């Protein structure tokens, strides 16, 4: 198990757009090592996802997983997903405000996200996947792919909603969970 340092806001690597991984390189030891480190680091930090540039790598790779996550108990389950060169397509005009946190930013804030997405990516074996993501799961995909483009939640969040995790837990968590749970039940019904 290799847990890497998660870079924090202000580190220049977080603002550098990631480069596409040549499909022929996916099976190589370097890319497979990055994937393994992303998984170990994400799980160690109880994250819902992690992008390669958050650990100082310049490759377009994200990992996403939600299974009884104590940081995000309101998120629907997402099996471990390794996405190389992910591409997102917005499907429809509906949006939702999600109070997001980030392993690289010690703040949370309200971010407007698209509700329905088409997602295309290669897995760690180089197999192509095309899926549809909705609700909070779509928000997770958008958050992680923003990282690959050098975008942080502080760029997208309503500045008046930014708060620390502690203040979110104390003042905003219950209302957000109630609202987002009703929304997600409607979207996924």
Q: Encode pLDDT of 128-155 as tens digits.
A: 999 999 999 999 999 999 999 999 999 9
Is the pLDDT reported for residue 70 higher than 90? no
72 close to 66: Cβ distance less than 8 angstroms:
yes
Which sequence positions are flagged as catalytic? Answer: 144
What does the block give as tokens for 55? 């650990």
Q: Which CATH architecture group holds 12-188? A: Alpha-Beta Complex (3.90)
pLDDT classification of 3: cutoffs 50, 70, 90:
very high
- Rounded CA separation 55/50 (Å): 8
Q: Where are the domains of the chain?
A: 12-188
Instruction: Kindly report the pTM of this predicted structure.
Output: 0.95
∠42-74-8 over CA atoms, to 5°?
A: 35
């Amino acid at each position: 198990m290799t847990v890497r340092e998660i870079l924090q806001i202000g580190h220049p690597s977080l603002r550098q757009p990631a480069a596409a991984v040549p499909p022929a390189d996916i099976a190589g030891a370097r890319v497979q090592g990055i994937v393994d480190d992303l998984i170990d680091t994400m799980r160690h930090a109880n994250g819902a996802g992690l992008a390669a540039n958050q650990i100082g790598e310049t490759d377009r790779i994200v990992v996403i997983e939600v299974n009884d996550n104590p940081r995000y108990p309101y998120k629907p389950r997402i099996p471990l997903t390794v996405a190389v060169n992910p591409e997102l397509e917005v499907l429809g005009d509906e949006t939702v405000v999600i109070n997001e946190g980030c392993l690289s930013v010690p703040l949370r804030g309200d971010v407007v996200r698209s509700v329905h997405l088409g997602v295309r990516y290669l897995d760690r074996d180089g197999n192509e996947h095309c899926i549809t993501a909705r609700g909070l799961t779509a928000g997770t995909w958008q958050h992680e792919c923003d990282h690959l483009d050098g975008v942080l939640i502080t760029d997208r969040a309503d500045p008046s909603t930014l708060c620390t995790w502690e203040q979110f837990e104390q003042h905003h968590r219950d209302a957000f969970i109630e609202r987002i749970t009703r929304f997600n039940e409607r979207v996924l019904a």
